[in-house]
Amino acid sequence: MKSYLAAAIQMTSVPDLQKNLVQAEELIDLAVRQGAELIGLPENFSFLGEEHEKLAQAEAIAHESEKFLRTMAQRFQVTILGGGFPVPVSNGKVYNTALLIGPNGDDLARYEKVHLFDVNVPDGNTYRESGTVLAGMKMPPIHPSKELGNLGLSVCYDVRFPELYRHLSQMGAEVLFVPAAFTAFTGKDHWQVLLQARAIENTCYIIAPAQTGHHYAMRQTHGHAMIVDPWGTVLADAGDKPGVAIASIEPTRLEQVRRQMPSLQHRVFI
């Protein structure tokens, strides 16, 4: 693992596939021009709209999202995570799929979100992700990379389930992706502290791309795409506007924290 720059992209995606891909390309270009070699896009990066619209367009969204990720990775010669987009399954629902693509356009890792957001938020919004999304049945994968480190995948609501990240750290994860479309109401209280907790307890870097702002109807997201180091220090925060959070991933820092706080070696219940 070498030292390198990583980018967590922050978007305001809307119910328009092409507009979202144009926005994503501009932000990827911005990240690359600042030197990023590993780039994460947020959950719902290619479409964020009403559930019935998502289902009606799911096939096109899936096809165009994958094509876009491969094109961007090859064009800019970087590794890119598409943090979540719908992929149709046979029962009329979709998987909320995160896809990691390498610089040659190959699939490096694919994860179907297992924890679905079925929540009555106190701001009056009700979310029933399971109404249109089929939960994945497999634990998220690790992609081992000699240059970028061992990369672990997750999506949004997963961040509230520490056992998932403990599994990833047991499998050797060094950098954890948490792409999200966190609600504005919950995000103000929980987003940063959850990211810091997952970083601290697993002594891993966290790359957390995010959605921000108003998307459609009452749907608003928190923003604050972040990169957090293994000590829990926030290295970069994109604020509440579309943009990019960029920070250096340092193997020496990872080694230092794991040496000073060897909690992964002290686990009793495994």
- Encode the chain in three state secondary structure: CCCEEEEEEEECCCCCHHHHHHHHHHHHHHHHHCCEEEEEECCCCCCCCCHHHHHHHHHHHHHHHHHHHHHHHHHHCCEEEEEEEEEECCCCCEEEEEEEECCCCCEEEEEECCCCCEEECCCCCEEEHHHCECCCCCCCCEECCCCCCCEECCCHHHHHCHHHHHHHHHCCCCEEECCECCEHHHHHHHHHHHHHHHHHHHCCEEEECEEEEEEECCEEEECCCEEECCCCCEEEECCCCCEEEEEEECHHHHHHHHHHCCHHHHCCCC
Residue 112 is a catalytic residue: no
- How is residue 131 written in tokens? 């109404």
Residue 241 is a catalytic residue: no
Residue 113 is a catalytic residue: yes
Name the active-site residue from 37, 43, 64, 112.
Answer: 43
Q: Which of 69, 238, 43 is nearest to 155 (CA)?
A: 43
Name the active-site residue from 66, 112, 113, 174.
Answer: 113
Name the active-site residue from 112, 156, 174, 204.
Answer: 156
User: What are the catalytic residues?
Assistant: 43, 113, 156
